[in-house]
Structure formats: structure tokens, C-alpha cells
Amino acid sequence: MTASGTLLGDGRVLGGRAMLRSARNPATILGAVLFPILFFVLFNLVMRRIMEARGFDYAQLLPPTIVVQAMFFTAMSSAYYVADDRRSGIIARFRSLPIHRSAPLIGRSLGDLSRATVSAVVITALGIATGMRFERGWVWALAYLGLALLFALAVSLGMGLIGYAAPTPEAAASIASTPYLPLIMLSSGFAPVEDFPDWLEPIVRYQPVSVTIDALRATAGTGDLGDTVPLALAWCVGLIIVFAALGSRALERAA
């Protein structure tokens, strides 16, 4: 008999708990599905004709942006959930159990990814309904979904850190709702990178949100795969490694 449970076994049990908890919380469904749909509809109404007049294929360009935005929305709940688990003391109780040390982190990530999957699939379906096409075939369509989820995982792990640092769940939620706005506004998501001031352009071009949106567009057929996908993978995997390491450490200390 081992002293501790297995990472995957315990992680799966805690993942089930995280999913149940999300499913029962109407606010997370709002964040994961309704808000992104609202943004999608509004941007189509306001921007589609302007962008098409400039020669852009907006049906291809917008859905990846909204998917990335949706990944932010789904990840924000993670900050709240972590802080809520600290307040209720359940995180300390998990730590007093003979489970794998990192199982709570895995469990939470599974919950986050389940919300992200629902959200990404819904937005993508909406995109297809308004004219988006996966021009490189279904394998690259799966890569599109995979990359979106990888990005979601990176952001969720980052949001989790806010949950460990914030004094209350409410504070965590409001802090978590701020980084997405500058990151997505100063990205290739809503306006072409060339439209930004010269001094800002390199930052806009290479920050992780732009890089991920560009790679998603490329997997759907717009843009070069080799120029975008490796860079996006490097950003996402790098952030996941750093945030997961910091998250494990924070978990060790949470009492």
C-alpha cells in the first residue's frame, strides 16, 4: 500500500467535483457561454462591414478572437474558486488527506478545461454558422480546439494564482477580471497589428494573446502555420510550466 493516492486517480475525483460545482453555478455558465456569444454578436454587428470594406475576411478572423476571449472568461472563475476553497478551508482539508500533493491542482484544471471545452465548441459552432470554414480539414480543426484549450489551461493556472494571493473570493474575482481587457485590446484580435503605433507594434505582435489568435487563425486556414503555431505552443507551454509550478507552491502553503 502506498502512502499517498495517485495523481491521476485523485485528480480525476477532484476533477469530477470541480465540474459538478461549475455546472451548479449559473455565473460560470454565463461567463463561459453567454458573454462570449454576446461579444460575438455585437462585434459582428458593429465591425463586420467596416472590416470587410478594408478587404478582411471577418468570418474567418473574428471567431478565434472570441474563443480566446471566452477562454479568459472561463478561466476567471478559477480565481474565485481557489479563493473560495481557501475561505471554506476545504483546501486545507484536502492537504490533510493522503492524496497526491498536486491532485487539487489537476482537479481544478480538469474543471476549468471542461468549461473551456463547452465554451470553445459553442463559439466555434456559432462561427461556422456565420461563415467560418476549417480550410485545412478536420485534423487541423482538432488542433484549433487543442490550442484553444492549451491557452485556456495557461490562463486558468495564472488565474488560480490570483485566487491564492487575494484576501477574499470577491476580491479575487474582481482582480481576475482586469488583465484580459488590455491583453485582448492590445492584440491582433480586433485590429490588424499594423494599425498600432510603431513603438507598440512589436509588443502587440508577440504577446501571447496575439500569438495564440494568429495560430488559431492559421489552423483554420488564414496565415502561415509555421510562423504562428510553434510560437503559440512555446508561449502556452511555457506559461503552463511556470504557473503550474507557482500554483503547486502556493497550494503547499495554503492552510
Partner 1 sequence: MGVSGIQVSGLVKRFGETTALAGVTFEAARGEVLGLLGPNGAGKTTTVNVLSTLLRPDAGSATVDGHDVVTEPAEVRRSIALTGQFAALDEALTGVENLALFGRLRGLSGSAARARADELLERFDLVEAADGRVSSYSGGMRRRLDLAASLVDDVPILFLDEPTTGLDPRSRATLWDMVRDLQAEGRTIILTTQYLEEADQLADRIVLIDNGKVVVEGTPSDLKRSAGGQSCVVQPVDPGRLDEVAKLLDDRGPLSVEHDLGTVTIPDTEAADLSAILQRLGQAGIEVADLSLRRPTLDDVFLDLTGDST
Tell me which amino acid residue 232 is: A
Among 25, 117, 177, 207, binds partner 1 (CB under 8 A): 25
Q: Minimum distance from CB of 17 to partner 1 (Å)? A: 5
Nearer to partner 1 among residue 4 and residue 178 (C-beta) = 4
Among 8, 42, 50, 92, binds partner 1 (CB under 8 A): 92
Q: Minimum distance from CB of 14 to partner 1 (Å)? A: 7
Binding-site string for partner 1 from residue 52 to residue 91, where x marks contact by CB under 8 A and - marks none: ------------------------------------xxx-
DSSP output for 81-142: HHHHHHHHTHHHHHHHSSS-TTHHHHHHHHHHHHHHHHHHHHHHHHHHHTT---TT-HHHHH
Closest by CA position to 36, among listed 3, 87, 71: 71
How many CB atoms within 10 Å of residue 248?
A: 14
Nearer to partner 1 among residue 19 and residue 59 (C-beta) = 19
Number of residues that bind partner 1 (CB under 8 A): 23
Binding-site string for partner 1 from residue 139 to residue 178, where x marks contact by CB under 8 A and - marks none: ----------------------------------------
Closest by CA position to 22, among listed 76, 99, 72: 76
SS3 of 201-246: the string is HHHHHHCHHHHHHHHHHHHHCCCCHHHHHHHHHHHHHHHHHHHHHH
Q: Which stretch binds partner 1 (CB under 8 A): 4-12, 46-54, 179-187, 206-214?
A: 4-12
Q: In the numeric block, which cell numbers belong to residue 200?
A: 507598440
Nearer to partner 1 among residue 21 and residue 136 (C-beta) = 21
Nearer to partner 1 among residue 10 and residue 112 (C-beta) = 10
Length of the chain: 255
Residues 6+ apart with CB under 8 A from 241: none
Residues 6+ apart with CB under 8 A from 1: none
Closest by CA position to 81, among listed 94, 65, 96, 67: 94
Nearer to partner 1 among residue 12 and residue 205 (C-beta) = 12
Binding-site string for partner 1 from residue 93 to residue 132, where x marks contact by CB under 8 A and - marks none: xxxxxxx---------------------------------
Position 13 contacts partner 1 (CB under 8 A): yes
Q: Minimum distance from CB of 109 to partner 1 (Å)? A: 17
Nearer to partner 1 among residue 100 and residue 217 (C-beta) = 100
- Contact residues for partner 1 (CB under 8 A)? 3-5, 10, 13-14, 17, 20-21, 24-25, 88-90, 92-99, 255
